[in-house]
Amino acid sequence: MTDILFLEGARTPFCTWAGGVRADGQKGGALKPLDPFDLAAAALKGALARSGATPEMIGKIIFGNTYHTGPHATYGARYVGHRAGVPPTTPGCTVTLACASGLQAVISAADAITHGEARIAAATGADNCSLVARNVFIPSFSDLMCGRPIAQAAQTSSKNEGQSRADQDRWALESHRRAAAARARGVFAEEIVPVAVPELGAVDRDDAILEHATAEYFAQSKILFEGDDATVANTHAVVDGGAAILLASAEAAKEAKAVLGRLAGFAVVGVPADRMAHASAAAVNKMLPSIGWTKDQVDLWEINETFASQTLVALKGLSLPEDRVNVNGGALALGHPFGGTGPRLVLTLLKELKRRGKKRGVAAICAGGGSGVAVAVEAA
Protein backbone atom coordinates (compact mmCIF):
# COMPACT_ATOMS: atom_id res chain seq x y z
CA MET A 1 0.00 0.00 0.00
CA THR A 2 1.19 3.55 -0.78
CA ASP A 3 2.58 5.21 2.33
CA ILE A 4 -0.22 7.49 3.52
CA LEU A 5 0.20 9.88 6.41
CA PHE A 6 -2.25 11.71 8.65
CA LEU A 7 -1.46 15.40 8.92
CA GLU A 8 -3.87 16.90 11.46
CA GLY A 9 -7.54 16.89 12.33
CA ALA A 10 -10.22 18.64 14.31
CA ARG A 11 -13.77 18.23 15.44
CA THR A 12 -16.63 20.41 16.54
CA PRO A 13 -18.06 20.05 20.01
CA PHE A 14 -20.55 17.19 20.14
CA CYS A 15 -23.85 18.65 21.34
CA THR A 16 -27.03 16.85 22.38
CA TRP A 17 -29.67 16.85 19.68
CA ALA A 18 -32.83 18.94 20.00
CA GLY A 19 -34.84 15.87 21.01
CA GLY A 20 -32.66 15.14 24.02
CA VAL A 21 -31.53 16.54 27.34
CA ARG A 22 -27.98 17.70 27.99
CA ALA A 23 -25.88 16.50 30.91
CA ASP A 24 -26.81 19.66 32.81
CA GLY A 25 -30.51 18.90 32.47
CA GLN A 26 -31.20 21.57 29.87
CA LYS A 27 -32.84 20.92 26.53
CA GLY A 28 -30.44 20.00 23.71
CA GLY A 29 -30.16 21.49 20.24
CA ALA A 30 -27.27 23.97 20.50
CA LEU A 31 -26.06 23.03 17.00
CA LYS A 32 -29.49 22.69 15.41
CA PRO A 33 -29.12 25.88 13.33
CA LEU A 34 -26.15 24.39 11.44
CA ASP A 35 -26.32 22.06 8.46
CA PRO A 36 -24.13 18.94 8.50
CA PHE A 37 -21.81 20.50 5.94
CA ASP A 38 -21.43 23.57 8.18
CA LEU A 39 -20.21 21.25 10.92
CA ALA A 40 -17.86 19.31 8.66
CA ALA A 41 -16.53 22.55 7.14
CA ALA A 42 -15.78 24.01 10.58
CA ALA A 43 -13.80 20.88 11.43
CA LEU A 44 -12.00 20.95 8.08
CA LYS A 45 -10.97 24.57 8.53
CA GLY A 46 -9.61 23.64 11.94
CA ALA A 47 -7.67 20.71 10.51
CA LEU A 48 -6.17 22.93 7.80
CA ALA A 49 -5.09 25.57 10.29
CA ARG A 50 -3.41 22.99 12.51
CA SER A 51 -1.66 21.18 9.67
CA GLY A 52 -0.26 24.16 7.83
CA ALA A 53 -1.88 22.93 4.62
CA THR A 54 -3.87 25.40 2.54
CA PRO A 55 -7.31 24.85 1.01
CA GLU A 56 -5.67 24.86 -2.43
CA MET A 57 -3.57 21.84 -1.49
CA ILE A 58 -6.58 19.56 -1.00
CA GLY A 59 -7.11 17.35 -4.04
CA LYS A 60 -10.34 15.66 -2.93
CA ILE A 61 -12.92 15.88 -0.17
CA ILE A 62 -14.77 12.85 1.14
CA PHE A 63 -17.80 13.54 3.32
CA GLY A 64 -19.27 10.80 5.51
CA ASN A 65 -22.94 11.53 6.18
CA THR A 66 -25.73 9.23 7.33
CA TYR A 67 -28.80 11.47 7.37
CA HIS A 68 -28.98 13.78 4.36
CA THR A 69 -30.78 16.60 6.14
CA GLY A 70 -31.73 20.02 4.84
CA PRO A 71 -32.91 21.23 1.44
CA HIS A 72 -29.40 21.17 -0.06
CA ALA A 73 -28.17 17.92 1.48
CA THR A 74 -27.60 16.26 -1.89
CA TYR A 75 -24.66 18.61 -2.52
CA GLY A 76 -22.86 17.14 0.47
CA ALA A 77 -19.10 17.17 0.02
CA ARG A 78 -19.25 20.05 -2.46
CA TYR A 79 -20.81 22.30 0.18
CA VAL A 80 -18.28 21.15 2.77
CA GLY A 81 -15.51 22.31 0.47
CA HIS A 82 -17.26 25.54 -0.44
CA ARG A 83 -17.86 26.52 3.18
CA ALA A 84 -14.32 25.59 4.16
CA GLY A 85 -12.86 27.84 1.46
CA VAL A 86 -11.62 25.02 -0.77
CA PRO A 87 -11.46 25.98 -4.47
CA PRO A 88 -14.48 24.92 -6.58
CA THR A 89 -12.14 22.94 -8.83
CA THR A 90 -11.56 20.44 -5.99
CA PRO A 91 -13.88 17.44 -6.38
CA GLY A 92 -15.84 15.95 -3.52
CA CYS A 93 -17.83 12.80 -2.83
CA THR A 94 -20.37 11.92 -0.12
CA VAL A 95 -20.32 8.40 1.29
CA THR A 96 -22.92 6.67 3.44
CA LEU A 97 -22.38 3.56 5.55
CA ALA A 98 -24.67 4.22 8.51
CA CYS A 99 -22.62 4.56 11.73
CA ALA A 100 -19.42 3.81 9.81
CA SER A 101 -19.87 6.57 7.20
CA GLY A 102 -17.05 8.68 8.63
CA LEU A 103 -14.59 5.80 8.91
CA GLN A 104 -15.41 4.86 5.32
CA ALA A 105 -14.58 8.48 4.45
CA VAL A 106 -11.08 7.92 5.87
CA ILE A 107 -10.65 4.83 3.70
CA SER A 108 -12.01 6.58 0.60
CA ALA A 109 -9.65 9.51 1.16
CA ALA A 110 -6.75 7.05 1.34
CA ASP A 111 -7.94 5.44 -1.89
CA ALA A 112 -7.92 8.84 -3.60
CA ILE A 113 -4.25 9.25 -2.70
CA THR A 114 -3.32 5.68 -3.59
CA HIS A 115 -4.85 6.05 -7.04
CA GLY A 116 -3.26 9.40 -7.75
CA GLU A 117 -6.42 11.51 -7.53
CA ALA A 118 -4.97 13.67 -4.77
CA ARG A 119 -1.75 14.35 -2.90
CA ILE A 120 -3.75 15.53 0.10
CA ALA A 121 -7.33 14.39 0.74
CA ALA A 122 -9.77 15.46 3.42
CA ALA A 123 -11.79 12.82 5.28
CA THR A 124 -14.72 14.66 6.79
CA GLY A 125 -17.99 13.62 8.36
CA ALA A 126 -20.97 15.05 10.17
CA ASP A 127 -24.61 14.60 11.04
CA ASN A 128 -27.14 16.95 12.56
CA CYS A 129 -29.75 14.69 14.14
CA SER A 130 -31.72 17.73 15.29
CA LEU A 131 -32.69 18.32 11.66
CA VAL A 132 -33.86 14.78 10.94
CA ALA A 133 -37.62 14.32 10.88
CA ARG A 134 -38.77 12.05 13.72
CA ASN A 135 -40.70 9.82 11.29
CA VAL A 136 -37.38 9.16 9.55
CA PHE A 137 -34.97 9.13 12.49
CA ILE A 138 -36.73 6.74 14.87
CA PRO A 139 -37.62 4.04 12.28
CA SER A 140 -34.04 4.12 10.97
CA PHE A 141 -32.93 2.24 14.08
CA SER A 142 -34.88 -0.81 12.99
CA ASP A 143 -33.21 -3.11 10.48
CA LEU A 144 -35.47 -4.68 7.86
CA MET A 145 -32.93 -7.45 7.27
CA CYS A 146 -33.30 -8.80 10.79
CA GLY A 147 -36.79 -7.48 11.37
CA ARG A 148 -36.15 -5.63 14.65
CA PRO A 149 -34.38 -2.64 16.20
CA ILE A 150 -30.61 -2.87 16.16
CA ALA A 151 -30.56 -2.31 19.93
CA GLN A 152 -32.47 -5.55 20.37
CA ALA A 153 -30.14 -7.39 18.01
CA ALA A 154 -27.16 -6.14 20.03
CA GLN A 155 -28.88 -7.24 23.24
CA THR A 156 -29.33 -10.76 21.92
CA SER A 157 -25.62 -10.99 21.11
CA SER A 158 -24.78 -9.58 24.52
CA LYS A 159 -26.98 -12.07 26.36
CA ASN A 160 -25.50 -14.91 24.33
CA GLU A 161 -22.09 -13.78 25.61
CA GLY A 162 -23.34 -13.93 29.20
CA GLN A 163 -23.43 -10.18 29.79
CA SER A 164 -25.89 -8.66 32.24
CA ARG A 165 -27.57 -5.28 32.58
CA ALA A 166 -25.13 -4.55 35.39
CA ASP A 167 -22.19 -5.25 33.06
CA GLN A 168 -23.56 -2.81 30.50
CA ASP A 169 -24.29 -0.11 33.06
CA ARG A 170 -20.80 -0.50 34.51
CA TRP A 171 -19.20 0.09 31.12
CA ALA A 172 -21.46 3.09 30.43
CA LEU A 173 -20.55 4.63 33.78
CA GLU A 174 -16.87 4.06 33.09
CA SER A 175 -17.22 5.75 29.69
CA HIS A 176 -18.56 8.91 31.34
CA ARG A 177 -15.90 8.80 34.06
CA ARG A 178 -13.11 8.51 31.51
CA ALA A 179 -14.57 11.27 29.34
CA ALA A 180 -14.97 13.61 32.32
CA ALA A 181 -11.39 12.94 33.39
CA ALA A 182 -10.10 13.46 29.84
CA ARG A 183 -11.90 16.78 29.57
CA ALA A 184 -10.42 17.89 32.90
CA ARG A 185 -6.95 17.08 31.52
CA GLY A 186 -7.59 19.24 28.45
CA VAL A 187 -7.65 16.30 26.05
CA PHE A 188 -10.73 17.42 24.15
CA ALA A 189 -9.53 21.00 23.94
CA GLU A 190 -6.82 19.64 21.62
CA GLU A 191 -9.47 18.20 19.33
CA ILE A 192 -12.30 20.74 19.37
CA VAL A 193 -12.61 23.87 17.28
CA PRO A 194 -15.36 26.30 18.34
CA VAL A 195 -18.30 26.79 16.00
CA ALA A 196 -20.30 29.98 15.65
CA VAL A 197 -24.02 29.47 16.22
CA PRO A 198 -26.58 32.22 15.58
CA GLU A 199 -27.80 33.79 18.84
CA LEU A 200 -25.48 31.59 20.93
CA GLY A 201 -22.08 32.72 19.73
CA ALA A 202 -19.12 30.34 19.93
CA VAL A 203 -19.93 26.81 21.10
CA ASP A 204 -16.83 24.92 22.18
CA ARG A 205 -17.81 22.25 24.70
CA ASP A 206 -19.28 18.74 24.52
CA ASP A 207 -22.52 18.75 26.49
CA ALA A 208 -23.49 15.09 26.96
CA ILE A 209 -20.74 14.04 29.40
CA LEU A 210 -22.05 13.37 32.91
CA GLU A 211 -19.43 14.94 35.17
CA HIS A 212 -20.77 13.26 38.30
CA ALA A 213 -22.31 10.06 36.97
CA THR A 214 -23.28 7.42 39.52
CA ALA A 215 -24.09 3.74 39.32
CA GLU A 216 -27.55 4.54 40.69
CA TYR A 217 -28.31 6.79 37.71
CA PHE A 218 -27.66 3.96 35.26
CA ALA A 219 -29.46 1.36 37.36
CA GLN A 220 -32.60 3.53 37.45
CA SER A 221 -32.67 4.29 33.73
CA LYS A 222 -35.71 2.84 31.95
CA ILE A 223 -35.29 0.03 29.46
CA LEU A 224 -35.98 0.71 25.78
CA PHE A 225 -37.62 -2.63 25.01
CA GLU A 226 -39.50 -4.99 27.29
CA GLY A 227 -37.36 -7.97 28.23
CA ASP A 228 -34.05 -6.37 27.16
CA ASP A 229 -31.32 -4.51 29.02
CA ALA A 230 -30.77 -1.58 26.65
CA THR A 231 -31.58 1.79 28.26
CA VAL A 232 -31.22 5.41 27.27
CA ALA A 233 -28.25 5.58 29.64
CA ASN A 234 -26.32 2.59 28.24
CA THR A 235 -26.97 3.61 24.63
CA HIS A 236 -24.83 6.22 22.88
CA ALA A 237 -25.69 9.86 23.43
CA VAL A 238 -27.48 11.26 20.36
CA VAL A 239 -25.55 14.37 19.35
CA ASP A 240 -24.91 16.74 16.48
CA GLY A 241 -21.33 17.28 15.37
CA GLY A 242 -18.63 16.96 12.75
CA ALA A 243 -14.99 15.98 12.39
CA ALA A 244 -12.23 16.02 9.80
CA ILE A 245 -8.75 14.65 9.32
CA LEU A 246 -6.28 15.25 6.50
CA LEU A 247 -4.45 12.42 4.75
CA ALA A 248 -1.43 12.93 2.50
CA SER A 249 1.13 11.11 0.43
CA ALA A 250 4.58 10.96 1.97
CA GLU A 251 5.83 13.52 -0.54
CA ALA A 252 2.97 15.96 0.10
CA ALA A 253 3.37 15.59 3.87
CA LYS A 254 6.78 17.27 3.61
CA GLU A 255 4.97 20.52 2.83
CA ALA A 256 2.88 20.39 6.03
CA LYS A 257 3.95 21.50 9.49
CA ALA A 258 2.35 18.60 11.37
CA VAL A 259 2.17 14.83 10.91
CA LEU A 260 0.23 12.71 13.40
CA GLY A 261 1.04 9.28 11.99
CA ARG A 262 0.52 6.87 9.15
CA LEU A 263 -2.25 4.62 7.91
CA ALA A 264 -1.20 1.01 8.46
CA GLY A 265 -4.25 -0.75 7.01
CA PHE A 266 -8.00 -1.12 6.96
CA ALA A 267 -10.79 -3.61 6.37
CA VAL A 268 -14.51 -3.53 5.65
CA VAL A 269 -16.70 -6.57 6.30
CA GLY A 270 -20.29 -7.68 6.36
CA VAL A 271 -21.97 -9.98 8.87
CA PRO A 272 -25.62 -11.10 9.22
CA ALA A 273 -27.68 -8.09 10.28
CA ASP A 274 -28.77 -9.68 13.55
CA ARG A 275 -25.06 -10.12 14.46
CA MET A 276 -24.21 -6.46 13.95
CA ALA A 277 -22.58 -6.31 17.38
CA HIS A 278 -19.89 -8.71 16.12
CA ALA A 279 -19.04 -6.68 13.02
CA SER A 280 -16.29 -4.48 14.45
CA ALA A 281 -14.43 -7.54 15.77
CA ALA A 282 -14.88 -9.25 12.39
CA ALA A 283 -13.34 -6.24 10.64
CA VAL A 284 -10.40 -6.24 13.04
CA ASN A 285 -9.86 -9.97 12.58
CA LYS A 286 -9.75 -9.50 8.82
CA MET A 287 -7.41 -6.52 8.95
CA LEU A 288 -4.74 -7.54 11.44
CA PRO A 289 -3.36 -10.56 9.51
CA SER A 290 -3.21 -8.47 6.35
CA ILE A 291 -0.81 -6.00 7.98
CA GLY A 292 1.12 -8.52 10.04
CA TRP A 293 -0.07 -7.31 13.45
CA THR A 294 -1.37 -9.28 16.39
CA LYS A 295 -3.85 -7.93 18.94
CA ASP A 296 -1.16 -7.90 21.59
CA GLN A 297 0.90 -5.49 19.48
CA VAL A 298 -1.88 -2.86 19.48
CA ASP A 299 -1.28 -0.24 22.16
CA LEU A 300 -4.66 1.53 22.11
CA TRP A 301 -8.12 0.80 20.74
CA GLU A 302 -11.08 2.99 19.85
CA ILE A 303 -14.16 0.77 19.59
CA ASN A 304 -17.25 2.85 18.86
CA GLU A 305 -19.82 2.61 21.63
CA THR A 306 -23.12 2.41 19.79
CA PHE A 307 -24.45 0.46 22.76
CA ALA A 308 -22.70 -0.73 25.89
CA SER A 309 -23.86 -4.24 24.95
CA GLN A 310 -22.27 -4.07 21.51
CA THR A 311 -19.02 -2.69 22.93
CA LEU A 312 -18.74 -5.52 25.44
CA VAL A 313 -19.41 -8.07 22.69
CA ALA A 314 -16.49 -6.60 20.73
CA LEU A 315 -14.19 -6.57 23.76
CA LYS A 316 -14.96 -10.19 24.53
CA GLY A 317 -14.74 -11.30 20.93
CA LEU A 318 -11.30 -9.74 20.60
CA SER A 319 -10.15 -10.53 24.16
CA LEU A 320 -9.15 -6.92 24.73
CA PRO A 321 -7.96 -5.48 28.05
CA GLU A 322 -10.39 -2.75 29.13
CA ASP A 323 -7.63 -0.37 30.15
CA ARG A 324 -6.52 -0.01 26.53
CA VAL A 325 -9.96 0.58 25.02
CA ASN A 326 -11.61 4.02 24.75
CA VAL A 327 -9.29 5.43 27.37
CA ASN A 328 -10.85 8.90 27.05
CA GLY A 329 -14.41 7.63 27.06
CA GLY A 330 -16.51 6.79 24.04
CA ALA A 331 -19.81 7.53 22.35
CA LEU A 332 -21.82 6.54 25.41
CA ALA A 333 -20.52 9.76 26.98
CA LEU A 334 -19.28 11.95 24.14
CA GLY A 335 -22.04 11.05 21.75
CA HIS A 336 -22.16 9.50 18.29
CA PRO A 337 -22.82 12.01 15.49
CA PHE A 338 -22.85 9.14 12.98
CA GLY A 339 -20.91 10.53 10.01
CA GLY A 340 -18.71 12.55 12.36
CA THR A 341 -17.63 9.60 14.48
CA GLY A 342 -15.08 7.93 12.18
CA PRO A 343 -12.68 10.86 11.79
CA ARG A 344 -13.09 11.59 15.51
CA LEU A 345 -12.01 8.07 16.45
CA VAL A 346 -8.88 8.26 14.29
CA LEU A 347 -8.00 11.74 15.54
CA THR A 348 -8.49 10.76 19.20
CA LEU A 349 -6.43 7.62 18.69
CA LEU A 350 -3.47 9.33 17.04
CA LYS A 351 -3.32 12.12 19.59
CA GLU A 352 -3.55 9.77 22.56
CA LEU A 353 -0.85 7.50 21.15
CA LYS A 354 1.41 10.54 20.91
CA ARG A 355 0.62 11.63 24.49
CA ARG A 356 1.53 8.22 25.84
CA GLY A 357 4.56 7.68 23.63
CA LYS A 358 2.89 4.62 22.11
CA LYS A 359 2.91 3.48 18.49
CA ARG A 360 0.03 1.33 17.25
CA GLY A 361 -3.70 1.86 17.38
CA VAL A 362 -6.92 0.48 15.91
CA ALA A 363 -10.28 2.19 15.42
CA ALA A 364 -13.35 0.08 14.64
CA ILE A 365 -17.06 0.62 14.14
CA CYS A 366 -20.01 -1.68 13.62
CA ALA A 367 -22.99 -0.36 11.69
CA GLY A 368 -26.64 -1.19 11.20
CA GLY A 369 -27.15 -3.68 8.42
CA GLY A 370 -24.23 -5.76 9.64
CA SER A 371 -21.28 -3.70 8.38
CA GLY A 372 -17.96 -3.51 10.17
CA VAL A 373 -15.04 -1.17 9.47
CA ALA A 374 -11.57 -1.12 11.05
CA VAL A 375 -8.60 1.18 10.51
CA ALA A 376 -5.07 0.67 11.85
CA VAL A 377 -2.68 3.57 12.48
CA GLU A 378 0.87 4.14 13.63
CA ALA A 379 1.74 7.32 15.48
CA ALA A 380 4.52 9.54 14.16
- What amino acid positions are annotated as catalytic residues? 99, 336, 366
Q: How far is CA 283 from CA 98, 186, 247, 305, in A?
A: 16, 32, 21, 16
